[in-house]
Amino acid sequence: METISPLTTTEYAVLGLLAFGERSGYDLTRAADRSIAHIWAPSRSQIYKVLPRLVERGHATRREVPQRGVPDKSIYRVTDEGLEALREWIGHVEPEPTSTAIFLLKVLFGDFGPPEAAVGHLEAYRDLMRRRLAEYEDIDRNPSPQRTEFGRIALHHGIARARATAEWAEAALASLAVSRRT
């Protein structure tokens, strides 16, 4: 019996984009450029390679749209199976997030996942940033004899970034709590 491998991050990202509505490969590339490119930047060729695999696995459908004077256009739509695969991926919360890009993709596509998943992702990421901040602040309080001014400057960048990201995650959690009440 053939084992079906899990989808790649690019495949999940394309499913997420298709979840917003049917699109051609060209439309998907443009949508990626306007949305996920700052998080995950699949190339045009990656998107075109992923689409037939998603169709083959039953996660998307393809239909041809006849055009005059140019080749027919393929339009793709996510299937119920594709939405379920996306939902399961979004619903898997890593207690120790290893990839900021994957974390942000799951947040971006949060409308297609279990409602509690976004909270779980944000709490896990906030906690990671708080631990990182504590580590950096400990290093700052106990500098090594080899630390230079440039090392201190770089460390303070890490402190500022970890603090700001933890505060952002806390604000996002508060925003979700408010939106759930309304």
pLDDT tens-digit series, residues 66-119:
889 988 899 999 999 999 999 999 999 999 888 999 999 999 999 999 989 999
Q: Confirm whether 104 is domain-assigned.
A: no
Report the residue count for the chain.
Answer: 182
Q: Confirm whether 4 is domain-assigned.
A: no
- The strands making up 23-24's β-sheet, listed across from edge to edge, are 23-24, 73-78, 60-65
Q: Confirm whether 2 is domain-assigned.
A: no
The C-alpha atoms of residue 63 and residue 12 are separated, in whole angstroms, by 20
CB 58 within 8 A of CB 81: yes
Residue that wins the pLDDT comparison between 39 and 165: 165
Q: Which whole-number Å values give the CA distances from 3 to 6, 34, 49, in the listed order?
A: 9, 35, 21
Q: Confirm whether 48 is domain-assigned.
A: yes
pTM over 0.85: yes
Quick one: how far is CA 86 from the chain centroid? 11
CB 105 within 8 A of CB 16: yes
Which pair of tokens denotes residue 39?
């998080």
How many domains, the chain? 2
Q: Are residues 19 and 79 in the same domain?
A: yes
Q: Find the mean pLDDT for residues 19-36.
A: 92
Q: Are residues 13 and 79 in the same domain?
A: yes
Q: Confirm whether 100 is domain-assigned.
A: no
Can you give the residue range of the structural domain that contains 139?
Answer: 114-181
Q: Are residues 82 and 135 in the same domain?
A: no
Q: What is the pLDDT of residue 182?
A: 65
